[in-house]
Structures are given as C-alpha cells and as structure tokens.
Amino acid sequence: MTDDVNTSQERRAPMHPELDRELWNRIASIFDRALEVHGQDRAALLDQVCGSDMTIRLEVEAMLEAHERDVGLLAEKRLPTGIASATLEPALAEGTRVGPYRIVSQIGAGGMGDVYRAERSDGAYRQAVALKVLRPGYRTAEMVRRFRIEREALARLVHPGIATILDGGALEDGRPYIVLELVDGIPITTYCAQRALGIRERLTLFLKVASTVQFAHGRLVVHRDIKPSNILVQANGAPRLLDFGIAKLMDLEEEASLAGRTTPDIRLLTPEYAAPEQLRGEAPSVATDVYALGVLLFEMLAGSKPFPAGGRTVNELERAILESPAPPPSTLAASPVVGRAVRGDLDRIVLMALRKEPERRYVSAAQFAEDVERYLAGRPVIARPDSVRYRTVKFVARNTALVAGGMMLAVMLIGFAATATIQARRIARERDRAERERVAADEVRKVLTGLIERGDPNKYPGGDTLRVTSLLDDAERAMDSMSGDSVQQAAMWRTVGGMRAARGEYARAIALLRKAYERRLAIFGSDDVEAARIQQEIGIVTVSYAGEAAARPLFDSSLTTLRRLLGDENEDVMKATANLLMVTTDSVVTRQLITRLDVLEQNVPVKDPIALAARLNSKGAERHGAHRYSEAAALYREAVDLLLKVEPPEHQDVRTVRRNLAIALVAGGRLAEAESLQRAAVLLEDRLNGPPMARGMSREALALTMMAAGRPDSAEVHERQALRWFRAGTAPEHWRIWSAQRNLAFIVAALGRVDEGLTLLDTAIAVASAGADSTSVTGYLTAQRIPLLLRLRRQTEALKSLTIAERRLGSSASVSPDHRADVHRYAGMAFLASGDVPQAVERFRAAVTLVEPPGRPDTEANINTCLLGVGLARLGRTVEARPMLDEPCKRYVAQGTPDPLILEWVASARAVALSS
C-alpha cells in the first residue's frame, strides 16, 4: 500500500474497531432482509432488529444507501462476465468436417491453438494428421496474423527433424488452421528416462535437435519455445520438433512492424524455458533458442531444470531467471555418478548456453553443437567459466582496433598510484624509518621535497618545462651523490621516476625506477614487497615505452614475488594479476588469469580507490561492448568521481577514463558533449606536454568524433596528429599505428580522396601483417578495402578482396559478431555493385542478424538494415523494403559522413520503392 493509504487507514481505524466476523454476520443478515422491503417498512424493520445498537444501524443504513448508489468501479454495468464458461467449452467436436479432414479427437492444446487428431477423408486414401486450429473467441487480428506467419514459417522448413506442414486453410467462421504431419513419439526427456540412456547417447540425441534448430535458423526462423514437450522422439530414435506455434520470423518486415506497435509483444512462452531477454519482452533471436537448447541439455543431463518452478512463486522464478546464475548441471544431477561425469566441460558448455546476456552465449546452435562434439571427441571445448568483465575488457581492448572508424577504449593499468598524496605519504613512511636507522642527507631531502612540489606536471600544469626538467636533473645528481645504501635514496629515485613517467620521459623514468628497484633488492634481498611494487611500476611505464610484450616479464616476475610474499588473496596480488592480464596475448594464460582474477575479486576486499576506479572503468568497457552506452557512461563518470578524490584532474588515470567516457558518448550519439570533453582533453595533453601515446589517443578520439559529426576535414587534422604521436611513442608495428592509418584512410576517402585512402589502407595492412593476430586482422582490413574500391568502380577487384578477406578470417574465434557483420555488409556491397542482388540480400540479411539486438543506436545496425532495404527494393520486394528504406536509412544518412555510394543506392531504391 502507498503511504497515503496507510495514513487514511490510521485515521479511520477508531471508527469501527469492533467489527468482526460475528458482527459482520449480523450486519449482513439485517442487510439481506432490509433489501427485501422498502420505504417505511424498511425503517420499521431496522428499528425492530437493530434496537438500540446504533453501530449496526448506522452500518446497515450506510450499506443500503451505497447499494442504491450504483456508481464507480463497483457499478453493475462495469462488471466483467461470463469468462470461464466461454473458455471451457471444447472447440471442435468429433466428426466435425474441416475441409477434407474429419476431426477424430483432441490431442492437445498449444500456446495458441488446440490440436486435434484428424483424418483425411476425401475417399482417395486415409491419412492420420494433426490439425491445429485457433481457439474459439481467440480471433484478435494479432493472433490471426501470427497464425498466418506460422504457416509461412513452417512451409519454409522442410527437414526430417521438423514436423512437416501438409495443408492449411480456414474454417467456415474464418479461423485459420494448419494440418501437420502426425508425429508418433514421446517427449525427449521421457525418452531418455525410459530408455535409461547414457550420457553419450543423450548428447548424441541432443546434437540431432541442435542441428535441426540450426537448420531453422538458416531459414531465418527462430522457434522461441523449445522444450521437451515440443521435441518428440520416435520409435526409431529420431527426434522431431513440433509446434512452431510462436515461431517468429526473423524477417525484417516482421521486426519492423512489431517494433512500430505500442502493444507489447504478447508472450506465449513457458517461463521455465524462457530466456532472460524473453522475460524482459525483448525481441527473440537465435540466442534465445541457444538458451532454450541449454535448458534442454541441462534437463537431459541433470534430470531437472536449471530454474525449476516447484516451490517458487512465478515472480521468484522470473527473478531467478533474470538475475541468478544458473547452477552447474552436475550439482543437480540425480546421481553422484552422473554428477561426476557432467562436472567440468559439460557444466561449462551448458552454462555458456545459459548466460544471461544473449551476446555472450554460443553465437549459434551450430557452435553449441560443435562444442558438444568436441567434448564427445575428447578435444578441448571452447566454453569457459563465465567471467564477464575481464573477458570483455580484454576483447574490447584488443579487438576494437578492428572496428571501422571505431574508437579504442583504454584500459587502466593499476598500481602506478603515483598520486601526489599517496606518494607523499609513502615517502614520509620511508623517511621516518630511515631517520631511525641513521642520520642522512636532510638537505637533499628538503631540496627534493621542494622539487617534487614544483616538478610534477600533474600538479603544476603549464609550469616552465625547461626549468622543471633541469630541476629534476639537479635532483637526480644530488641523489646520486648521497652516501651509502639508503632506503631513502631508493624512495626518491622512485618518486622522481614517477614524475619522469608522468612527463612522458619513459626512458629516464625506467632508469630511475630500476635504480630504486635494485637498491631495494640490495638492501632487503628478494623478499621485498616494495621492490615487487616498483617492478610493477616499471612494467606500467614499459607498456607505454616499449609495448605490452616487453612489459610482460616484469609483471610476471613481480606477480610471482608478490604471491610468494603475500599469499594468493591479497589486493596487491589482484592488481598485479589484472595488469598481467592486460598485457597477455596467449589464450591459455589469459583464461587462467581471468579465472584467478574472478576468484580474487570475490574474496579480496578492495579499498584502493584507484583499483576501484580501474574496476569501474573495466565494467564500463564491458557495458560499452554490450552496446549499453549510457550505462557505460554512467560507470565512467563514477570512476572519474572516485579518481578525483585522490588524483588531480590532470592525472593520467583521470584522462584515460574521461577518454573512454567521451567514446561512450559518441557511440550513444551525444556528440556535442563528447566533443567538448575531447577538446578539453587535447588541450590539456598539449599543455602538459603529456606522454605521446596519451596525446595520440586524445587526438584520435577527437578525430573520430569529428567524423561522426560530419566534419572529415577537421578529423583529418586530428587523426594525422594522432598518427604522429603514435609513431613517436611506440614500436612501428603497434596496432595503434595501423589502426590510425586505417582510420585516416576512411577520413580522406570521405573527403573525396578515395585513391589516397586506398593507399593508406594498404599501408595499414602491410603494417598489421607484422603484428600479432595478423591473419584475422589483415583479413578484416582487406574486407575494408571493398567500400573504397567500389567508389572507384573497381567491382572485380572488390570481389577479389572479399575472397582473400574471408579466407583469412576463416572461422577465427577472435573475430567478433560485429566484425563478421561488417564483413557481410562489405560482401553485400560488392555483390550489389556487381549486380548479384540475391547474394547481396543474403549477406545484408546475415549482417542484420548478427548485429542483434535490434534498436542499437549506432550506425552499424542502421546501415545494415538500410542496405538490406536497398537490396530488397532491387528485387522488387518493395513492400518489405519500404520500412527499411525509411527510418534506418534516414538514421544512417543523418550520421556524420555517410558513404556517397550508399547514398546513391538509397536514393534510387527509394525512388523505386515509392513509385511502385
């Protein structure tokens, strides 16, 4: 109840405190009798029966008065009536004729229609069939429309694993029906139990179901309601899928018309098998069926469902499906023997299919099936324990480099806490300790303290650079002349090293940090936590100076030391593990680190605000990867707020996260906000004379925002600057370099210099082929040649590039669905330009299917849909094409720098679609 109602209850409470069941009975009986009489008689009756009891008298009189006042919600005319009886009568009686069929008996009731056993009875031959018809009274336009869709969907699905559609028609009263093959079988789970199938047999049976589902997906039909009662196994052991009753075409026309309606998608699903996105009312996709297959395999293995309804209210069930992780099937297995067999790989496989986020499940039923096959063959499976953040961050960090005109999210390495405050505190600690040990160089310390105050560009931006540098030089000389094995000296080297690093003087910084590190080793031996921390810091500077690979041994060795000295579950160990993960490329090691980090995250409380901010930053990147841009922006903002409590606004960490924030804003279409953030960042980097990589990244982010805003001229200036900084700051084959070259290629092409763009792109490909992951990277970049070639009308060459690109990409797991969608789009463009429209349509459709969920705000989703519309219009399917040519194309055109060739296509397609 709301507070207001509670209040009213309290106020009213004393008015009839004594009303109880007994009193009610008396009141009700008087009321009954009073209703029978009127006027004077009624007054007399009340006088008689109530006597002097005014409570009862007033109550009854008020009720009688209310009885006459037939208004409000409880008015007679508003009362709903006659529901149950309408519901319960059987629809078609035995013997009813439906076209050439005769109803024999009702054999079931599906989500939206009753199913009858019927016989074909037109004399020629007798054939038993299943006849499915809409229920009486169930004739809203929406339902009839859906029923028609089902018929069309089924007609496309001729497969031995799917109950065949035989016929269809309408009853005399207009209700549509379909006639299906009658499947004689039992539900798959019952079959497994009855035959007492072993695990391998169950898996083999499951594979057949998965391949059938894959077949349907290939025909752009998602089942949406996969569950044991819809999968009957026949006597010969072959499973068949029934009841595409709520099958939904993945056709865009369908999607578009559904999206345009205000009525929510009426759900007809079975909660225990429903995927989270279905409960949220989102559009179902291939991933929805993958989820349901996961539930099915879970049940086939464990004998129960991951989220059984038993004992739970529906709300609880729904919440569990939406929020609780599914338990590993081995933990619910009926027997310990089965539990042991399922534990491990099978658990992982099932749980991968049951992930909450559709985009993180197996990408297809086929991929799911392949993993089961790998298990059966004793090969390693690709399913890994769920670890959202690190995996995604890793992915985002390494693969966004591929996205056309995409912006790179930066990961924050943790540990170089080097904030003025923290470090000052650290120095103070060391100083106290040293003072107790010996009397040392007070004068130098004073000088240093002063220098530290003035020499940190983060603290004093715009200070006289030369003066600061020379002061630092002086300080170093002074420190070097200090006597003995001083711990203080190490601390000072470390501090100054940090300041050098912040200024982008990486070589000097590393040299100083190394001296500090070695000094500590000399004093304390190899069992020194501080030394290991310094080594982490050297690693962080090394990432900027020489790249991830060079930093790896440093992170690795210091992590080993920290684990040895501090144990496994420790904040330092966690930070060091996170850092090592960010520079690791080996996939096996990556997986191990991710697993370890997940455990640490659960067990180690984090207090360090910088580590917390790094975590928020990672979460933001993860949300970004899931196209939840506003959520990502919120997380970044939170991280910035946290950092600002311990770091000055100019600090590297703050800038890193702000950069990510700007990228999320661009992706979310908030260009103006992003631009001002980025301009401020560029100005700041310039003023601080910051490290080259940071400056490059700021410039590049601004360049790409300019592209999104339709200002390629300005974009070119900034991207060229970025490329210069990247060249200055990293090894020549660093991915930032080829990525910037590629971005530049598209920028100059947008300015009309397509030839120059193509040359730049080819340079990028050459650079990339020297780096890691070169096959899939160059494959993708080669595909990106296509739009440029097409603008130069070099169609044949475009098709050649496509072949090369797809051969290189192969089935590489490092290519994300987004990238695959891009390649499909480029392929479609190549085919369209060469006149092979059907192939083009198929590719565009594949691209659209891959960039689910629909309604994504970014360009990728709109352009694919728009191009599909272009293709369909060329095929003369103008009705289907029209909605795609409308909103999605408009959105694509409205974004910054659309491809002029595509604009041309859209214009002519629209002319065709509108004139017909």
Closest contact distance (angstroms) between CB of 253 and another protein is 22
Sheet holding 113-120, edge to edge: 97-98, 101-109, 113-120, 127-134, 176-181, 165-170
Nearer to another protein, 163 or 490 (CB): 163
Token pair listed for 108: 């079931």
Under 8 Å CB-to-CB from 155, ≥6 apart: which residues? 165
Q: Which of 878, 395, 356 is nearest to 594 (CA)?
A: 395
Contacts of 455 (CB under 8 A, 6+ apart): 463, 468, 471, 472, 475, 496, 499
Is 662 within 8 Å of 680 (Cβ atoms)? no
What DSSP designation does 648 have? Answer: -
| Cα-only R_g, the chain | 35
Taking a C-beta distance cutoff of 8 angstroms, is the pair 678, 702 a contact? yes
Closer of 65 and 443 to another protein (Cβ): 65
- How far apart, in whole angstroms, are the C-alpha atoms of residue 840 and residue 872? 9
- Burial (0-12, 13-18, 19+ Cβ within 10 Å), 22: exposed
Classified as helix, coil or strand, 782 is helix
Q: Is the Cβ of residue 182 or residue 893 nearer to another protein in the bound state?
A: 182
The helix-helix angle for 652-667 and 692-708 (nearest 10°) equals 20
Q: Which is nearer to another protein, 147 or 892 (CB)?
A: 147
Q: Give min distance, CB of 138 to another protein, in A.
A: 5
Compare residues 79 and 124 and give the one whose CB is closer to another protein.
79
Q: Catalytic residue at 568?
A: no
Cis ω before 228 (30° cut-off from 0): no
Q: Which two tokens stand for residue 883?
A: 């909605």
For the bound state, the minimum distance from the C-beta of residue 141 to another protein, rounded and expressed in Å, comes to 12
Q: 889 near 906, Cβ under 8 Å? A: yes
Output the smallest distance, CB 9 to another protein, in A.
Answer: 7
Closest approach, Cβ 234 to another protein, in A, equals 11
SS3 of 169, please? strand
Q: Provide CB contacts within 8 A for 609, sequence distance 6+.
A: 642, 643, 645, 646
Q: Largest Cα–Cα distance in the chain? A: 118
| Alpha-carbon distance values, 293 to 300, 644, 679 (Å) | 10, 47, 49
239 three-class SS = strand
* Smaller CB separation from another protein, 281 or 838: 281
Shortest distance, CB of residue 20 to another protein, whole angstroms?
6
Which residue number, 269 or 902, has a Cβ lying nearer to another protein?
Answer: 269
If the CB atoms of residues 92 and 427 are measured against another protein, the closer one turns out to be 92
- Find the shortest distance in angstroms from Cβ 15 to another protein: 9
Say if residues 354 and 306 touch (Cβ distance below 8 Å): yes
**Nearest-approach distance from CB 235 to another protein, in angstroms:** 13
Q: How far is the CB of 229 from another protein (least distance, A)?
A: 5
Q: 775 Cβ partners below 8 Å, 6+ apart?
A: 808, 809, 810, 812
Cβ proximity to another protein: between 53 and 762 the closer is 53
Nearer to another protein, 182 or 634 (CB): 182
In a 3-state reduction of DSSP, which class is residue 645? helix
| Structural contact between residues 635 and 623, judged by C-beta atoms closer than 8 angstroms | yes
Is 781 within 8 Å of 768 (Cβ atoms)? yes
How many Å separate Cα 914 from the centre of its chain?
Answer: 37
Of the pair 89, 442, the CB lying nearest another protein is at 89
> Phi/psi at 562 (nearest 5 deg)?
-60, -40
Structure tokens at 821: 């969608």
Strands 248-249 and 165-170: unpaired
What b/e readout covers 568-598, taking b as 16+ CB neighbours within 10 angstroms? eebbbbbbbbbbbbbbbeeeeebbebbebbb
Return d(Cα 561, Cα 572) in angstroms, integer: 11
Please report, to the nearest 10 degrees, the dihedral formed by the alpha carbons of residues 137, 141, 146, 152 taken in order: 110
Contact 779, 805 (CB under 8 A): yes
Query: What backbone phi and psi angles, to 5 degrees, belong to 747?
Result: -65, -50
SS3 527: coil
Tell me whether residue 118 or residue 350 sits nearer to another protein (CB atom). Answer: 118
C-beta closer to another protein: residue 2 or 811: 2
Catalytic residue (choose from 114, 225, 858, 899): 225
Hey, which residues are catalytic here? 225
